[in-house]
Structure 1
Amino acid sequence: MTSTSNVLILLSDEHNARIMGCAGDATAYTPSLDKLAQEGTRFTNAYTPSPICVPARASLATGRYVHQHRCWDNALAYKGNPPSWGHRLQAAGIPVQSIGKLHYRNGNDATGFDQQLLAAHIQDGIGQVWGSVRDPLPDPFPTAPLFKNLGAGESSYNRFDRAVSQEAAQWLHERSQQTDSTPWVLFVGLVAPHFPLIVPPEYLKRYPVESMPLPRLHPDRGYHRHPWAERHARFSKHDEQLGTDERRQLALASYYALTSFMDHQIGNILNALSESGMAENTTVIYSSDHGDNMGERGLWNKCMMYRDSTAIPMIIKGPGVPVGQTVQTNVSLVDIFPTVLQKVGIAPTESDLDLPGRSLVDSANEPYDSTRLAFSEYHAVGSDSAGYMLADNRYKYHHYVGYEPELFDLDNDPFETHDLASDPTYAEIVDCMQKRLCAILDPIEVDTHAKSDQQVLIQKFGGRAAALGIGTPGATPVPSS
């Protein structure tokens, strides 16, 4: 049993796991995250339970997969059931607060926090209802203006993140003045590097636009998208909004700059933790809700099964965590639930035995577990059927309801450029991965459940035609600062 400690969870939004200096990206300037990795353990194979905000965050809260908590998309948000790790802390009398983005239904639901400061939730408590319309998927759909504005500037998201980091720093200083020795848990949610890709100019200057390398795979250069991904691309039309390679380079430079901006906010919070005198007795977990495609395959934002979208950064530092270590064992956001309980000294209950996660501290201290699977699923905007991802220690399998699967050999093809699923040589591996997936869920049955829940929501808002006009077309608004 590891020693108890405070827990500080730092969650960014849409951070591609490769875009960190400590992950080997020589272009990315992320000194705060690099230092955190040097002082703790970085997991090189971390995955989101779903490559979109609301479902992923509900999984982080509950320790359950999306098909278990049924928060399928960005309109069906977490409202306190199933119970979160926060509820368990509250029952044990352990202080638990949040600052920043949560992306639950609203701030009034009992979701497991004593207090929510600067809380950002789905807009008006309803979110993107239009994104729940997927059976059948509308085509064409009005293009959301995600890339109308790019580059140097300042957005409401930039101001929000600064306010969140300042609030978190103040919270840590004030907490250090209290004499109560009870462990505490603080969740801090930042929104960078999530679009809009607008960033203060001092960060963008570090990344010359003309030197940004273009995506490796793109339809303009001969790449053929899988039909499931192609269907999403036709729906979203994100790459068409950019239009030229010069604007794609500006988008990539802005994304890198937003990552550096986010890293700076993380640094401010970690500096405050150090100054507070509580660092030695605090476990710090850094991660993101999902990744970003960054133009690969002509795709932007998230929503795909490829690693750009499903892989996430995961770094942990604190008492009982090895220093300066990288671990290849597959881990997930669902592992945060048992990690938090373990670190504050709450014993697992019988119901916890059904949860898929295990403590990140245990994974950091044990030998590489080549048997552990990573799992992700998608039932949201732009998909006409469910997508599932299963990865073991070498192969990564994508299962799409109604479409052919994909298979990638991550050892020899880490950027997933060559689909092996149709190669007879790999037929046995494809069959094995499909059976392992079906041991977790019934792909068709879960697809049906998701669409049924979404249809109930659509009818609540007046039917298909009405639902298509309800909800923010782009980024969720955040509280003004």
Structure 2
Amino acid sequence: MKPQNLLILMSDEHNARMMGCAGDALAQTPNLDALAARGTRFTDAYTTCPICVPARASFATGRYIHDIGYWDNSIAYDGRVPSWGHRMQQAGVRVESIGKLHYRSGEDPSGFDRQHIPMHITGGVGMIQLSIRKQFPDFVPPPRRRAAIAESAGPGESEYTRYDRRVADIAVDWLRDAATSETPWVLFVSFVTPHYPLVAPKEFFDLYPVERMPEAKFGPGSGYQPHPWLADLTAGGPPRPEDQRVAYAAYLGLISFMDAQVGRVLGALDAAGLRDTTRIIYTSDHGENAGARGIWGKSNHYQEAVAVPMIVAGPNVPAGKLSATPASLADAYPSVLDCAGLPAEAGIPGRSLFELATKTDDRDRIVFSEYHAAASPSASYMIRKGRFKFIYYVRFAPELFDLEADPAESENLAARPEYAATVRELEAELRRILDPEEQDRRANEAQRLLIESKGGPDAVMANLPTKKLYTPVPPELLS
């Protein structure tokens, strides 16, 4: 196709169902709704890994986590594997980023001509303590209560909301200046909200009266019994009901705040006269449990954490379309190449989202995700095919859900005899992609070597680069 401009908008930790256009009765997202109305929304899109750093490395390279070896939030993208940014540079296409990258360092060759206020992992190692899983049997890590995310929620400003306003400011200026560009470009604008801390500016928090917030899905009193693999994620118990409601309101408020920043950027694109020559991708790196099963954060393969919003718009993109073809963050790489008029690359699993948007639905397209990071006793893998989702846990019993009959994932069908053939089929699909036990071993070994290089788990815990539950914004990026 003829080369076109491409604007990529990424948020952080946006639950795919929490948009007005996705049918959420509470979420107020007018700008994303308008984008979906003039483009195509993929109703079943997934992250390749439900945690920030690996997902972003996969998004950049178009490859699965086990293929590139960026296993967790301390083993971050360093330019070692070519990205779509590198391909743009080789083709002479201007390519820049604004906002969160979550790579190892701004000094690494990441594939951008320029990084504007880039946010990377802290000190090149990030939250290294989260690489300690079960590799050190004699080490007992201090408890990490997920409920703390909800307990600190409320109205106000945080370093994340201040940072995202700066991201939008710079993007608005960048697009105004791009109005006179005579050659195509790629701009990656990456926000950090609605990722916790769950502190939402008051005007957005007040959109969601706390007393009207729903109870947590599979919360206290529901009778839900968590899968044994979730033991570390659910340790310490769920938030108190009142904290859960405040947290839910704050999370929705952050979604609306992020939507407003997206609206500012899209408004600048239109003001610059670039709408008719620019394609757009909106997505997020992963989802958010939002209290479901007693968990705030991500780090599992249930829909809340692993599904992501995915909207494409622009020239030759079907307007107002809902595509039921399963999609993935791995599809971003070929999508960027497609916009630049470059041929697809052999050996990567994705397809151009702009191509998929024009095709009839392919419900049997396989989407794959994996997890080797924080609070996991072993690797978790997901296969989505048709109506079924299969979750394979190394050393634990699997789960199988019929997402058409049971979108809430309330009934595990894996042990029922009538679904034995489905389990065998989906496990065979998984093993065509990778050896799950071998990749679990590789991840644990890489993490063990990293921790030992820093003096072992006790030394790591004594010398943490940050004690926050999230990556802090360097102060110089806020001024």
TM-score norm. by structure 1 comes to: 0.96
Write the distance in 2 (CA, Å) between the matches of 1:143 and 1:132.
14
2:157 to 154, 159, 180: 154
Match in the other structure for 1:480: 478
Match in the other structure for 1:172: 175
Match in the other structure for 2:142: 141
1:377 to 370, 374, 381: 370
**2:11–2:258 Cα contact (<8 Å) kept:** yes
1:344 to 331, 340, 344: 340
Match in the other structure for 1:226: 227
Q: Alignment partner of 1:447: what SS?
A: helix
Q: Alignment partner of 1:7: what SS?
A: strand
Match in the other structure for 1:393: 386
CA RMSD of aligned residues (A): 1.3
1:395, distance to aligned residue in structure 2 (A): 0.3
2:261 to 253, 262, 265: 265
State percent identity of aligned pairs: 48
Match in the other structure for 2:243: 247
Match in the other structure for 1:124: 123
Amino acid paired to 2:153 = L
Write the distance in 1 (CA, Å) between the matches of 2:363 and 2:222.
36
CA distances 1:114-141 after superposition (whole Å, capped 9, x unpaired): 0000100001111111011112476552
1:148, distance to aligned residue in structure 2 (A): 4.6
Write the distance in 2 (CA, Å) between the matches of 1:233 and 1:280.
48
Match in the other structure for 1:16: 15
Write the distance in 2 (CA, Å) between the matches of 1:81 and 1:52.
20
Q: Alignment partner of 1:221: what SS?
A: coil
**2:150–2:244 Cα contact (<8 Å) kept:** no
Q: Is 1:89 matched with 2:88?
A: yes
**1:133–1:467 Cα contact (<8 Å) kept:** no
Write the distance in 2 (CA, Å) between the matches of 1:464 and 1:228.
22
Write the distance in 1 (CA, Å) between the matches of 2:57 and 2:429.
24
Q: Is 1:323 matched with 2:319?
A: yes
Q: Is 1:35 matched with 2:34?
A: yes
1:143, distance to aligned residue in structure 2 (A): 2.7
1:432, distance to aligned residue in structure 2 (A): 1.1
Q: Alignment partner of 1:397: what SS?
A: strand
Match in the other structure for 1:311: 307
**2:135–2:448 Cα contact (<8 Å) kept:** no
**1:15–1:193 Cα contact (<8 Å) kept:** yes
Runs of 4+ in 1 over 6 A off after TM superposition: none
Q: Alignment partner of 1:100: what SS?
A: strand
**2:150–2:243 Cα contact (<8 Å) kept:** no
1:4, distance to aligned residue in structure 2 (A): 2.3
Amino acid paired to 2:226 = R
Write the distance in 1 (CA, Å) between the matches of 2:281 and 2:144.
36
Gaps of 5+ in 2: none
Q: Alignment partner of 1:260: what SS?
A: helix
Write the distance in 1 (CA, Å) between the matches of 2:143 and 2:230.
18
Q: Is 1:279 matched with 2:280?
A: no
1:332 to 328, 335, 340: 328
Match in the other structure for 1:190: 191
Write the distance in 2 (CA, Å) between the matches of 1:140 and 1:125.
22
1:442, distance to aligned residue in structure 2 (A): 0.2
Match in the other structure for 1:448: 441
Write the distance in 2 (CA, Å) between the matches of 1:163 and 1:300.
27
1:154, distance to aligned residue in structure 2 (A): 0.4
Write the distance in 1 (CA, Å) between the matches of 2:204 and 2:289.
21
1:182, distance to aligned residue in structure 2 (A): 1.5
Count residues with an aligned counterpart.
470
Write the distance in 2 (CA, Å) between the matches of 1:468 and 1:415.
37
Write the distance in 1 (CA, Å) between the matches of 2:387 and 2:363.
9
Write the distance in 1 (CA, Å) between the matches of 2:171 and 2:267.
11
Match in the other structure for 1:468: 461
Match in the other structure for 1:358: 351
Write the distance in 1 (CA, Å) between the matches of 2:134 and 2:204.
42
Amino acid paired to 1:459 = E
Amino acid paired to 1:268 = R
Write the distance in 1 (CA, Å) between the matches of 2:437 and 2:276.
48
Amino acid paired to 2:355 = D
Write the distance in 2 (CA, Å) between the matches of 1:36 and 1:61.
23
Amino acid paired to 1:387 = S
Gaps of 5+ in 1: none
Q: Is 1:112 matched with 2:105?
A: no
CA distances 1:335-365 after superposition (whole Å, capped 9, x unpaired): 01001011111223xxx21100000011101
Write the distance in 2 (CA, Å) between the matches of 1:51 and 1:366.
27
Write the distance in 2 (CA, Å) between the matches of 1:229 and 1:26.
29
**1:399–1:405 Cα contact (<8 Å) kept:** yes
Q: Alignment partner of 1:326: what SS?
A: strand
CA distances 1:184-209 after superposition (whole Å, capped 9, x unpaired): 00001101110000011110111000
2:430 to 437, 444, 463: 437
**2:128–2:460 Cα contact (<8 Å) kept:** yes
Q: Alignment partner of 1:261: what SS?
A: helix
Write the distance in 2 (CA, Å) between the matches of 1:218 and 1:226.
14
Amino acid paired to 1:299 = I
1:369, distance to aligned residue in structure 2 (A): 1.1
Amino acid paired to 2:76 = A
Write the distance in 2 (CA, Å) between the matches of 1:163 and 1:431.
50
TM-score norm. by structure 2 comes to: 0.96
Write the distance in 2 (CA, Å) between the matches of 1:142 and 1:227.
17
Q: Alignment partner of 2:232: what SS?
A: helix
